[in-house]
Structure 1
Amino acid sequence: MIDSLNDSPPVLLVGASTRAMAFSAIRSGFRPICCDRFADADLQAVAETHRVTEWPDGLPKVLDRYPDVPVMYGGALENAPELLERIADSHPLWGVHAGPLAAVRDPFRLASELTRVRVNMPEVRDPSSPPEPDGTWLLKPLAGSCGRGITIWNDQAASAATLDEPHYFQRRVDGAACSALFIAPPDRSDVRFVGITRQLIGTSQLHAPPFAWCGSIGPMVLPVGNEHLIRRMGNFLSWSFELCGLFGIDFILDSQDNIWPTEVNPRYTGSAEILELSCGLHLIHDHACQFDPDLAARRESLLPIESPADQNPVLGKAVLYSDRRFTIAAGQSWDCSPPAMSLPAIADIPTEQQVIGPGEPICTLMQAGQTQADCESRLQAAAAAMQDELRASPP
């Protein structure tokens, strides 16, 4: 752990993977205490870390060791409102609480609210009225995260595991997967629009499962009319669902530049660190101030973020998945202490002797480029180089 953080205010970070949040918290002057499923090597190098094997039910047992320390949650916990309500009984919760969380994660409620302001969302259906399995619909789990369990609804999907859990159907829309990030204030005034990223979904070069989120590239600039609509959506949804702090809206940008929102992630998102690093922001500080306004006085003491935006204004991250089962070799030549104030080349680094199976994430690669296409090309080259290195490892 970084010694200079010992006098910084603590914050408990919980999520399937907390490395990105932890680096953001350090940039914002906090001392992160992290509870997640992986306890990656680069996370352990900068923060007190707890690997929670009984996920997520084992979280309260760890959090109880730190009474009164604020809790901020990340990916996958948006699907556990009852657990978050329990956490909020014993800790300040810097995030959307259980009631609004359950409401905004309900695709039928979301579609109904967006219809009120004439925003088109892809049609949704519940299991009682399934569409024809003709390939024009998606089967999605209600408790989905990062694309888990999504499949094309066709004859082959009749045996999909997603049918064994609460699920729904959403009409397919072809186009670019994107995400917009906002910070909502507690008084229901206008949200702060942070930016837009393009999402990498099911990228074959990264061995990502179909529909799996596997990275972000940004910031992304859209026509003024589209950006105005996105800002309007952010305001309306924050007012309608009483959102507070960081939240993201995932959407599809079709070939006619139409925007189709698909879901809301009311938490720190996977693309947040890309916008933070490219724009020189302190997003967790700004998020925390929505729950504890006294923290605003600390802004002047925050160190500037080393952004490569002057030379390469577009940043990207790509999650490399495994196509086989293998063990991380001892002495693997990865730097496990990347600077938290700048862009690391490799992040979410697995620990030595960790066993990684097919379809599981290995690490995250980061690159900067002149354009979206240039950045994506550099990410693909970095992924190819990493795969060449890993192929030398014994299975």
Structure 2
Amino acid sequence: MLSMAAKSKWWNGCGCLPQSRGRHYRPFGPCRQLENRPFHRPTCSMTPPRHLLTVGASARAAAQSAQRAGFAVTAIDLFADEDLTECATAIRSENYPADLVHLAATAPSGPWMYTGGLENHPRIVAEIAARRPLWGNDAAVLRRVRNPRQVHAVLAKRGLPALDVTLDPTDVPRDGTWLAKPLNGSGGKHIHPLDDRSPALQPTRRDEKRKNAGWYFQRRQPGLPASAIFLGHKRRGRLLGVSEQLVGQPWCIGSPFQYAGSICPLLHDDLGDDDFHAQLRELGDTLAGEFGLVGLFGVDGIIHDRRFWPVEVNPRYTASCEVCERLTGLNMVSLHARACHENLPLSDLEPRWPGCVGKLIVYARRDGEFADRSAAWVRNLNAGQSACRVADIPRVGTVFQSGDPIATLLAHGDAPQKLRDRLATLADELRDQLV
């Protein structure tokens, strides 16, 4: 249960979010009771926050959003980072995902939601959902919407852009114009251009005769990587925001197709086109209607020639939800909860768009340890008045190998390029702090 101090800091009893300069922002329109009042002196009635369990490979961003929305949070993930322990009762999974059902059973009663990675484990989702209310998409929905052939068929039927996909690479060119992708992939890991040396074409260890098990193959589309966030409710999908995905850029260090961050909003010539916006709205409505998606969901895609080419559907709170929340003032977990559990009037959403927000996952260039001096650098940055912050803060003594994620940088700015430059500079400084 949150203390009264924590309640007065994060929650005002009416679902509003604290905004700069002592104002509130209400996700579903302005709060007339609290307009122009400092957020630490609420006039709305105070109700004890409900408990929410968040589960995923990384739960920090969703847990912080849930705390700001007024929930007492228990979070289960792979890291139990320092800043997760500040906003939630953090439980580290030592045998992910096999131990999640057991760990979830130890949390206080209440609803639960999942973040990245769990969409690939519908059986685990079903087992946890059998014991507590699920705010999100159930196992049956996951099995359908995570099937690339079913998604392709639905999009093609509606005349929306749909990249060719197949499970059989026999007739697929081996010249890099197609990608090999894990069926249970997440974050872009292990994606690679298809050629004769592709791991996807090698026999599995379990069955020497069975090749390309666990993989599918998708036509490669050139263009700008992007992600659209939607809110599913009553078979409709409301577009909340579009962000640029930081993927395959040398300064991000990660592998060529691995997700490294987001810049929101996406400033692109195509976004001013009415037809482009209409396509995104139809995409959200189609996916929510055909698959029954509820709550937050994201669609990764490629923007090319005024078209958004979907490459993957992520039917849950996504990594780019955090930057969208920081930019618009819309509390993502509050929206998710109301869409899954309450009668939500989607027409009441009124986001604001001041400047831009960036998020960068900092990957290690070399082996090293997060030491006392590393922690001091993080504390100094987070304690200052800078528009930049460090999140997913590891514990002192954590050892990293080259390519491991160290932490996440979050920053505000006026222009995307200046924001990229600032994030790149800070990322190099953070990497230099490893010993």
TM-score above 0.5: yes
Distance 1:237 1:169 in 2: 21
SS at match of 2:365: coil
Residue 357 of structure 1 and its aligned partner are, at CA, apart by 1.2
Instruction: Tell me what 1:70 maps to.
Output: 111
CA contact (8 A) 2:56 2:77 kept: yes
Distance 2:69 2:364 in 1: 33
Structure 1 residues 281 and 336 mapped into 2: Cα distance closer, same or farther (>3 Å)?
A: farther
Instruction: Tell me what 2:21 maps to.
Output: none
- Residues 346-384 of structure 1 show CA distances to partners (whole Å, capped at 9, x for unaligned) of 111111111111211001111122222222122112212
Residue 127 of structure 1 and its aligned partner are, at CA, apart by 2.7
The one-letter amino acid paired with 1:366 is L
Instruction: Tell me what 2:379 maps to.
Output: 335
Structure 1 residues 388 and 158 mapped into 2: Cα distance closer, same or farther (>3 Å)?
A: closer
> Which structure 2 residues correspond to residues 289-308 of structure 1 after superposition, within 5 A?
289-293=338-342
Instruction: Tell me what 1:32 maps to.
Output: 73
CA contact (8 A) 1:199 1:215 kept: yes
Distance 2:109 2:417 in 1: 46
SS at match of 2:225: strand
Higher relative contact order, chain-length normalized (CA < 8 Å, sep 6+): 1
> Which structure 2 residues correspond to residues 356-395 of structure 1 after superposition, within 5 A?
356-390=400-434, 393=435
CA contact (8 A) 1:336 1:349 kept: no
Structure 1 residues 128 and 178 mapped into 2: Cα distance closer, same or farther (>3 Å)?
A: closer
Instruction: Tell me what 1:120 maps to.
Output: 161
CA contact (8 A) 2:63 2:88 kept: yes
| Stretch moving more, 203-212 or 259-268 | 203-212
CA contact (8 A) 2:180 2:200 kept: no
The one-letter amino acid paired with 1:232 is E
CA contact (8 A) 1:288 1:295 kept: no
Instruction: Tell me what 2:288 maps to.
Output: 238
The one-letter amino acid paired with 1:353 is G
Residue 165 of structure 1 and its aligned partner are, at CA, apart by 4.6
Distance 1:243 1:349 in 2: 32
The one-letter amino acid paired with 1:182 is F
- Could you tell me which of 124, 129, 134 is aligned with 1:83? 124
Instruction: Tell me what 2:326 maps to.
Output: 277
> Which structure 2 residues correspond to residues 161-310 of structure 1 after superposition, within 5 A?
165-185=213-233, 187-188=234-235, 190-221=236-267, 222=271, 223-254=273-304, 256-293=305-342, 310=354
- Residues 99-136 of structure 1 show CA distances to partners (whole Å, capped at 9, x for unaligned) of 11110110000000001111121111113635121111
Unaligned runs of 5+ in 1: 300-304
> Which structure 2 residues correspond to residues 85-100 of structure 1 after superposition, within 5 A?
85-100=126-141
| Stretch moving more, 364-373 or 326-335 | 326-335
Distance 1:249 1:219 in 2: 15
Distance 1:98 1:5 in 2: 35
SS at match of 1:131: coil
Distance 1:338 1:29 in 2: 23
Instruction: Tell me what 2:357 maps to.
Output: 315
Distance 1:200 1:157 in 2: 24
CA contact (8 A) 1:42 1:336 kept: no
- Could you tell me which of 11, 23, 30 is aligned with 2:64? 23
- Identical counterparts, % of pairs: 35
Instruction: Tell me what 2:83 maps to.
Output: 42
CA contact (8 A) 2:177 2:194 kept: yes
TM-score, structure 2 as length reference:
0.81
Residue 385 of structure 1 and its aligned partner are, at CA, apart by 2.2
The one-letter amino acid paired with 2:429 is A
Distance 1:94 1:356 in 2: 34
Residue 46 of structure 1 and its aligned partner are, at CA, apart by 2.1
Residue 27 of structure 1 and its aligned partner are, at CA, apart by 1.7
Distance 2:250 2:381 in 1: 29
The one-letter amino acid paired with 1:330 is D
- Residues 29-50 of structure 1 show CA distances to partners (whole Å, capped at 9, x for unaligned) of 1111100001111111221100
The one-letter amino acid paired with 1:364 is T
Structure 1 residues 50 and 157 mapped into 2: Cα distance closer, same or farther (>3 Å)?
A: same
Distance 1:290 1:210 in 2: 35
Structure with larger Rg: 2
Distance 1:315 1:11 in 2: 27
Distance 1:183 1:34 in 2: 22
Instruction: Tell me what 1:352 maps to.
Output: 396
The one-letter amino acid paired with 2:149 is F
How many residue pairs end up in the alignment?
375
